[in-house]
Amino acid sequence: MAQRGGDPLARGASGAESGAGAGAKLGECDAACQQRARRAGVAASTRPVVAAAGTGTGTGAARRGTIRRRAAMRPAQRMTRAHVRGQSMVEFIVILPTLLLLTLGIIQFAQIYIAKNTLDLAAFEGVRAGTLHNASTKWIDCGIAQGLMPLYGSSDTLNTVKTGWLEAECQVGIGPTRFLAAYSDAFADVKPPPALLGGSGKSVIDLQILNPTAATFKDFGEIGLSTKEEIPNDRLMWRSTDVGPASGEDIQDANLLMIRVQYCYPMDVLFIKQIVQGLAIGANKMINNQTTFGTACYTSGGVPLVAQTTMLMQSPAKQSLL
């Protein structure tokens, strides 16, 4: 038994020597790995240092190695975070002008969209007023001004000149203060009062009567009860459907009132006004589309909006009122 097992003390010494040799080899490998990591400019491996068996110092060595590796990583982490913060600031400064213009453009074109919907309503109000008053352009102007009132609804003070002009033209002089202020301001822009009344003489709209035309009156005009040439509006179902030679229309088409309204909406958003103004004027020059109203509107810092509406006449259209 003693010969086969050998001396226990000798076996323990041999085991300690082999453990110490293994620990030395691991330490050499660990040092070599750290040296290669330092040369490459990166942190050392995070593998814990394995202590040699029987030395009793493995835990302390691993802790010291971990502390050294963390200390080596901290400057690199700080540099990386500072670099990311600086890069984000540069990117924000580069994108800020584009983001600002996009936001302002959204605000301006939202206002233009609202103004276009308001103009559609104003054209409808105008053509309806015309159908009820013998296609009179005066009443069409009153209806258009009434439809444009939402764009003028922020004033609580009355202008006596504008209110008097509205009362004289549209027979409107009684109502809430804000209603009269908005209505009179809109009507003064649609149909400016004469220069003697303090008006500017420049209208913000351009009204065109597309139907009936002079050729329509030539084909279907009659002398009415008021001794003025007018297009008959009664018994249309029983009238002849022959097409007039001058207008190319029948009596049914002759009784359609069609108007086209252009409205110069003033832009007021910073930068977008100047950008749109420059692009529009340049585009008009390139395509040689120098319309008087549109060019004047762009030059004044506005944008021309267009609405077209058709409605059946409810009274005879009179040529003298167009």
pTM: predicted TM-score of the whole model, two decimal places: 0.71
Contacts within 8 Å (CB) and 24+ apart, 25-28? 26/50, 26/52, 27/52
| Type of residue at 147 | G
Amino acid residing at 313: M
Alpha carbons 150 and 157: distance in angstroms, whole number: 16
**Cβ(207)–Cβ(195) under 8 Å?**
no
pLDDT in tens, 70-110: 655 555 555 566 566 677 788 888 899 999 999 999 999 99
171 vs 149: CA distance, rounded Å: 17
**Which structure tokens are listed for 238?**
């029983």
pLDDT band at 61 (very low <50, low <70, confident <90, very high): low
23 pLDDT band, cuts 50/70/90, is: very low
Read off the pLDDT of residues 26-58 as tens digits, 9 standing for 90 and up: 444 556 666 665 655 544 444 444 444 444 445
Q: Tell me the HSE value of 127 on the side-chain side, using a 13 A CA sphere.
A: 24
Residue with tokens 């008021």: 226
Sign of CA dihedral 256, 259, 260, 263: negative
